[in-house]
A and B are shown apart, each in its own frame.
Chain A
Amino acid sequence: MSFDFWKRRDLELDEELQAHLRMAAQDRLERGEPNNEAEDAARRELGNLQLVKEVTRSMWGWTWLERLIQDLRYTLRTLRQDLGFTTVAVLTVALGVGANTAIFTVFNGVLLQPLAYHDPGRLYGIWTSQPGQAGRIGSSGPDFADFYDQAKSFDQLGVALSFSWVFILGGKPKRVHPTAVSPDTFPMLGVRPLLGREYLPEEYHIDGEQIILSYDFWQREFGGDPNIIGRKISENSSTTVVGVMPRLPDFFPQTDVWAKMGPDYEFMHWRGNRFLRVFGRLKHGVSPTQAEQELTAILRRRSENPPNMKVTLSPLRDDLVGSGIRPVLILLMSAVGLVLLIASLNVATLLLARSEVRRDEINLRIMLGAGRLRLLQQLFTENVVLALLGGLLGTLFAFGLTRLLLHIGSEQLPRNQNIAINFFVLLFTLLITVGASLLFGMAPALALIREHRAVAMSGSRAAQAMRRPRRSVLVVTEVGLSLILIIGAGLLLRSLRNLVREDLGFAPDHLLLTWMRLPDEDPTVPRFYQRLLEELPQLPGVQAAAVADCIPGMESHYSANLSFPDRPADPARVPTAAGCWISADYFRATGTPLLRGRSFTAHDNRDAPAVVIVNESMAQRYWPNQDPIGKFVAVSYTGPGRRSAGSEKLRQVVGIVGDVRRQGEAGEPAIYLPYVQDQTNHVLLAMTVYVRTSGVSGVVEEMRVKMHSLRPDLPVNISSMDVKLWETLAPRRFALLLLSGFALLALLLAAVGIHGVVAYSVSRRRREIGVRMALGAARDNVIGMVLKEILKLVAIGLIAGAIGALACSRFIAGMLYGTRAADPLVLSSCAAVMLAVAGLAAWLPARRAASINPIEALRSE
C-alpha cells in the first residue's frame, strides 16, 4: 500500500461527507428553507466534521501508521517553527548523549569487551600471596614447574616475563622489549604465527639463536618485510628470525620480540623469587575456585614454601586491564550519567515553558474533540523526534570526543585498540536517547493530562497554581546534580594539588636520570661504572652522580627478604623491605637526607665488610626502641633477574636515611646496599644513572656525549625526575580533566535551565510586575523579588547537592588524597561557584523584568 492510497482514501471520505452535506442542504432548500440557513442547518445536523472524520478513519485499521506519519509531519513543522527552542533542546540532548556515548565507548572497549582469543572466559592469571605481605605476587620458576607437572585443572599453563635488551638496529643501539614465553603460552591463547614457525620444544633454552618478532615490531622496524624469516635481527648478535606472531590483542602490548623461557635460566630455579606471570586455560567444567584450591595445595606440599601461601585466579581480561583504570571509568560513567540527567531536566524545563506557549493550540485541539490518548501520542512523537535528532548529533559529537579521549588518554587506557564506536555502543546510545526522551517528556505529559481534564471540565484555563511546585523540583534537582559533579571535580583537583606539593623525601627538581641495560657477561662493565661515576661529576653543571637499581618515588620491582641473627625466623612471616643497590653518592644525588650514621664511601668496596643503610621506617619497624646502627641483617634479594639462592651474608647497618615515598603512599621500610658488594653481579646488568645539576642548560647533551663516548653500544634516553613524577600522575590528571569537563558542562546546562525558568516566569508575570511597578515598586525591588524566588530554590538545591555528594562519595573515595568527601573548603567553594553561576543566570532575565513598561504590560492582556 502506497502513501497515495492513504491520501486518496482521506480525500474520498472528505468528498463523501461533502456530498452528504450538499444533498442535505438541497433537501432543505426543496422543503422551502432559505438558502443560507439550509446550508448552516445541514452542517449543524452533521455535527463536528473533524470528529466525524476522525472516528470514521479509526474504523479503517492501519491508522496508527498513518497517524504516526501525520504526527511526524506535524512535529517537524512545529520544530521548524520554533527554531530557537529546537536548537537549544537538540544541542542539550546532543551534549548529554554525546558525552555518554564517548565514555561508554571507552568503558565498553576497556572493561566489557571479551578478549579476542578463543574461548577467553577460560583464560586466567595465576597469582600467589601470603597473609601479612602486601598484595599479590607472581610465581617462581619452581612454583611454575610444580603447577605444570601436577595441576589437573588446566588445559595449558604458560609463563610470560617482560624485560629489556639492546639491539643494534641500523647502526644505532636501541632498547627493545622482549617478552619471554614458555612452550604452552601461545597454544594456551590459541594463536599461531603469521609467518614462519613457533619455537621448537628443544629450542627453549638460553643459547638458542632464534627469535620471533611481534607484529608491531615487524611493521615498525622492517616495514612488514615478507622475507624476514632467516634474517639476522641485530648487528650485535647472530640471532635469526624464525617467525612473526600476529598482533596478540591486549597481551603484553609493549612486546617487540617474543623471547623464550626455558628451564636452564638460572632464575627459574630460585624458589623464593616470585616474579613470573603465570597464565592458564581452565579445563571445561573446572571452576576457578577448584583450580585455586588445587594450586594452593601443590604449593603447600613443598616444605620450602611458607605454609600459609595461597593461590588466587583472576580473569585474564582483568589481569591485563589492571586495577587502576576501573574506578576511573566507573566514576566517569556515573558522572556522564548525571550530565545526561541534567540535560533531560533542562529539556523538560524548556518543554514545559513551551507547552505554556502552546496552550492555546492544545486547548483548541481538545475543544475540537482530540482525545487525551491522541494528544499524548502526538506529544510522545514530538519528544522522541527531538531526542533522536539530539541523539544523532550526539553520536557525531561522540566520534570526535572518542578520538580526543584516545589522544589524551592513550597512555592511561589499556586495551585502547578496542576502543571504537560499534554496534553495541550505538545500541546503548539509542537506549539512553529514548530513555532521555521519556524522562524529559514526563513533566509536559503530566501537564497535558491535567490541562485536558481542566479544559474538558470547564472549557477554560484552570489549575495554574499547580504548575509552580513542579518547576521548582526541576530547578532544585538540576542545581543539586550539578553541584555533585562540581564537588567531585573539586575533590580531585585538591587531591592532585596535595600530591604535587607533597614532600616525597627527596628532591626531584634538577635531577636527571637515564636507565641503562648492559650486555650479559661482559667483563668491562664494572670498569665502565667506575669511569662513569668518576667522570660525570666533572662535567660543568653536574653536582653529583650516582647509579642505583631503583627509582625514588616509583614502585620498586625488587624486594629484600630479611633475616636477623638475633631473632628466630618464621617462614610464615618473612620480614621484607624494598631493596636498592646504590653507589656512594646516591643520597647526595637524589637529595635524600642522611639522618644518622654515615653514607657509603669508596672504602665500602668488594673486599670490605658488608654494610647497609636503612631508612627511618625500617629502623622503626625492625629495631623499635633500639639503635639499628651497628646491628646485623642478612638480605636475600628478590625480583626479576635477581639471585636469591645461596648463602646470605650478614651485613652491618652503618646509617639511617629519611623515607622516600611514592606519591600518595606512606613510607615503607627500605634497605640500601653498595652495588659493588653484590657478589652475583646481576645488579650490573641494569642500573639507572642519576645526575644532580646546578640548573645550567646543556647538561643533558654533555651527559649524553660523555656516556656515548664511554659505551657506544648504549642507548641513552635522559629524562628529568620531576617530569617523570608528573607522568605518574597521568591517570589522575586524566580523570580530573574529564570530570572537570563534565562538571563544567553540567554547570553550563544548569545555567541555561535556570535562565530559561526565570525568563519564562518573568514573561508570564508581566502583568503582575507591571501592577507592582505602577504601584511604585522600584527597579531594584523587582529584580530582588525575582532573584529571591529563584535563589531560594538554588539554596535548597545546594543543600540537596551537598548531601548527594556525600552520599556518592564512595565512587570517588579511592581517588582522593589528603582530603575527604566532606572537605569543608571544597564543599563551600564549589557551592559558591554554583551560586554565582545560578545568580548570574537568573540576574539576566530578572533585569529584563525590571525594564517592563507598566503601562504596556497592563494593556497587553
Chain B
Amino acid sequence: MPKRERYQNRVELLQGTLDLLILQTLLWGPQHGYGISQAIRANSGEVLQVDTGSLYPALHRLHQQGWISSEWSISENKQRVKIYRLTAQGRKGLTSERSRWEQLLEAMAGVLSPRGRESAT
C-alpha cells in the first residue's frame, strides 16, 4: 500500500523541523495539540500543514524527552484538553535546535547560491 510509504517519508522529512516548530510555538505560551497545528499553519501563512499523524508522536516524544510537560485543563469551549508547556530543558533545547536550523539554512543558502562562495574565494 503506497499510502503508508508516503506517510513514512513525510515523518522523516519533517523530523527535526517539526520539533523546532512545536517548541517555537510553545514559547508563546501553553497550547493543546490542535492549537499548535493551527498556530503553525497561521504563522506560516497557511503554507505549512502539520500532519496529525506526525504531530502527536512528536509531542509524545518531546514529552518523553522532558522538553515539554503536559496537563489536562478545560478549553474555552468547555472541553477537557491536554495542554503542553515548554520546560526549562525545552528552552535550552529550543536554542540549540534553532542554531542548528540556522546553520542548516546558511549551508543550504551557500549551496543554492554559489555566488556567495565565489566571492569568498
Contacts from A to B (Cβ < 8 Å): 12-13, 15-17, 19-20, 22-24, 26-27, 45-48, 51-52, 55-56, 58-61, 367, 369, 455-456, 459
**A51-B53 contact, Cβ under 8 Å, with A56-B60, A60-B64:** yes
The answer, among A19, A58, A456, for a CB contact under 8 Å with B82, is A19
Pair A19/B32 contact, Cβ less than 8 Å? yes
**A59-B80 contact, Cβ under 8 Å, with A45-B52, A456-B1:** no
The answer, among B1, B51, B53, for a CB contact under 8 Å with A367, is B1
User: Would you mind naming 19 contact pairs between A and B with Cβ atoms under 8 Å apart?
Assistant: A15-B82, A16-B82, A19-B81, A20-B32, A20-B34, A20-B52, A23-B79, A24-B34, A46-B52, A46-B53, A47-B51, A47-B53, A51-B4, A55-B11, A56-B56, A56-B57, A59-B60, A60-B60, A60-B64
For A369, what are the chain B residues with a Cβ–Cβ distance below 8 Å?
1, 4
For A367, what are the chain B residues with a Cβ–Cβ distance below 8 Å?
1
For B79, what are the chain A residues with a Cβ–Cβ distance below 8 Å?
19, 22-23
Determine whether B93 belongs to the interface, using a CB cutoff of 8 Å to chain A.
no
Pair A15/B80 contact, Cβ less than 8 Å? yes
For B77, what are the chain A residues with a Cβ–Cβ distance below 8 Å?
23, 26
Q: Whose C-beta in chain A lies nearest to the C-beta of B77?
A: A26
Pair A16/B7 contact, Cβ less than 8 Å? no
Bound CA–CA A455/B7 (angstroms): 18
**A59-B53 contact, Cβ under 8 Å, with A19-B82, A23-B79:** no
Bound CA–CA A56/B54 (angstroms): 8
Determine whether B61 belongs to the interface, using a CB cutoff of 8 Å to chain A.
yes
Cβ of B74 to closest chain A Cβ, rounded Å: 11
Bound CA–CA A455/B2 (angstroms): 11
Pair B51/A20 contact, Cβ less than 8 Å? no
| Chain B: interface size category | 20 to 34
The answer, among B33, B53, B80, for a CB contact under 8 Å with A48, is B53
Q: Residues 36-72 of chain B: 1 if any A CB is under 8 Å from the residue's CB, otherwise 0?
A: 0010000000000001110011001100100000001
For B80, what are the chain A residues with a Cβ–Cβ distance below 8 Å?
15, 19
For B81, what are the chain A residues with a Cβ–Cβ distance below 8 Å?
16, 19, 23
Bound CA–CA A26/B51 (angstroms): 18
For B75, what are the chain A residues with a Cβ–Cβ distance below 8 Å?
19, 23
For A27, what are the chain B residues with a Cβ–Cβ distance below 8 Å?
38
Pair B34/A19 contact, Cβ less than 8 Å? yes
Within 8 A of A (CB), among B72-89: 72, 75, 77, 79-82
For B51, what are the chain A residues with a Cβ–Cβ distance below 8 Å?
47
Bound CA–CA A26/B76 (angstroms): 13
Pair B57/A59 contact, Cβ less than 8 Å? yes
Bound CA–CA A427/B52 (angstroms): 49
**A16-B56 contact, Cβ under 8 Å, with A23-B79, A24-B34, A367-B1:** yes
Other contacts beyond A15-B80, A59-B57, A59-B60: 8, CB < 8 A: A13-B56, A15-B82, A19-B34, A19-B82, A23-B81, A46-B53, A52-B53, A52-B57
For A45, what are the chain B residues with a Cβ–Cβ distance below 8 Å?
52
**A55-B57 contact, Cβ under 8 Å, with A19-B80, A22-B79, A26-B77:** yes
Bound CA–CA A22/B81 (angstroms): 11
**A55-B53 contact, Cβ under 8 Å, with A20-B33, A23-B77:** yes
Bound CA–CA A59/B82 (angstroms): 17
Q: Whose C-beta in chain A lies nearest to the C-beta of B35?
A: A23
Cβ of B49 to closest chain A Cβ, rounded Å: 9
Bound CA–CA A512/B1 (angstroms): 86
The answer, among B4, B7, B38, B57, for a CB contact under 8 Å with A58, is B57
Bound CA–CA A20/B64 (angstroms): 20
**A52-B56 contact, Cβ under 8 Å, with A59-B64, A367-B1:** yes
Bound CA–CA A829/B4 (angstroms): 59
Q: Residues 1-28 of chain B: 1 if any A CB is under 8 Å from the residue's CB, otherwise 0?
A: 1001001000100000000000000000
Bound CA–CA A15/B33 (angstroms): 12
For A51, what are the chain B residues with a Cβ–Cβ distance below 8 Å?
4, 7, 53
The 4 A-B residue pairs with the shortest CB-CB distance, nearest first, are A59-B60, A59-B61, A23-B34, A46-B52
Q: Whose C-beta in chain A lies nearest to the C-beta of B49?
A: A45
Q: Whose C-beta in chain B lies nearest to the C-beta of A53?
A: B56
Pair B61/A52 contact, Cβ less than 8 Å? no
Cβ of B87 to closest chain A Cβ, rounded Å: 17
For B1, what are the chain A residues with a Cβ–Cβ distance below 8 Å?
367, 369, 455-456, 459
For A46, what are the chain B residues with a Cβ–Cβ distance below 8 Å?
52-53
Bound CA–CA A293/B112 (angstroms): 88
For B38, what are the chain A residues with a Cβ–Cβ distance below 8 Å?
27
Bound CA–CA A20/B75 (angstroms): 12
Bound CA–CA A347/B66 (angstroms): 48
Bound CA–CA A17/B37 (angstroms): 13
Cβ of A461 to closest chain B Cβ, rounded Å: 14
Of the listed residues A13, A58, A59, the one surrounded by the most CB atoms of chain B closer than 10 A to its CB is A59
For A55, what are the chain B residues with a Cβ–Cβ distance below 8 Å?
11, 53, 56-57
Q: Whose C-beta in chain A lies nearest to the C-beta of B58?
A: A59
Pair B4/A12 contact, Cβ less than 8 Å? no
The answer, among A12, A16, A47, A459, for a CB contact under 8 Å with B33, is A16
For A24, what are the chain B residues with a Cβ–Cβ distance below 8 Å?
34
For A12, what are the chain B residues with a Cβ–Cβ distance below 8 Å?
72, 82
Q: Whose C-beta in chain A lies nearest to the C-beta of B5?
A: A456
Q: Whose C-beta in chain B lies nearest to the C-beta of A20?
A: B34
For A22, what are the chain B residues with a Cβ–Cβ distance below 8 Å?
79
Cβ of B30 to closest chain A Cβ, rounded Å: 14
Cβ of A457 to closest chain B Cβ, rounded Å: 9
For B52, what are the chain A residues with a Cβ–Cβ distance below 8 Å?
17, 20, 45-47, 52
Q: Whose C-beta in chain B lies nearest to the C-beta of A23?
A: B34
Cβ of A268 to closest chain B Cβ, rounded Å: 84
Within 8 A of A (CB), among B100-114: none
Bound CA–CA A459/B4 (angstroms): 12
Q: Whose C-beta in chain B lies nearest to the C-beta of A54?
A: B57
Cβ of B72 to closest chain A Cβ, rounded Å: 8
Bound CA–CA A59/B81 (angstroms): 20
Bound CA–CA A268/B11 (angstroms): 92
Of the listed residues B1, B32, B61, the one surrounded by the most CB atoms of chain A closer than 10 A to its CB is B1
Bound CA–CA A51/B51 (angstroms): 13
Cβ of A633 to closest chain B Cβ, rounded Å: 96
Q: Whose C-beta in chain A lies nearest to the C-beta of B11?
A: A55
Bound CA–CA A834/B37 (angstroms): 70
For B82, what are the chain A residues with a Cβ–Cβ distance below 8 Å?
12, 15-16, 19
Cβ of A63 to closest chain B Cβ, rounded Å: 11
Bound CA–CA A469/B116 (angstroms): 65
For B4, what are the chain A residues with a Cβ–Cβ distance below 8 Å?
51, 369, 456
Bound CA–CA A55/B7 (angstroms): 12
Cβ of B68 to closest chain A Cβ, rounded Å: 12
For A15, what are the chain B residues with a Cβ–Cβ distance below 8 Å?
80, 82
Cβ of A81 to closest chain B Cβ, rounded Å: 28
Bound CA–CA A343/B32 (angstroms): 56
Q: Whose C-beta in chain B lies nearest to the C-beta of A24?
A: B34
For A26, what are the chain B residues with a Cβ–Cβ distance below 8 Å?
77
Q: Whose C-beta in chain B lies nearest to the C-beta of A57?
A: B60
Bound CA–CA A16/B71 (angstroms): 11
Cβ of A9 to closest chain B Cβ, rounded Å: 10
Cβ of B83 to closest chain A Cβ, rounded Å: 10
For A17, what are the chain B residues with a Cβ–Cβ distance below 8 Å?
52, 56
Cβ of B82 to closest chain A Cβ, rounded Å: 5
Q: Whose C-beta in chain A lies nearest to the C-beta of B8?
A: A55
Cβ of A440 to closest chain B Cβ, rounded Å: 30
Bound CA–CA A17/B60 (angstroms): 12
Cβ of A66 to closest chain B Cβ, rounded Å: 14
Bound CA–CA A26/B64 (angstroms): 30
Q: Whose C-beta in chain A lies nearest to the C-beta of B72?
A: A12
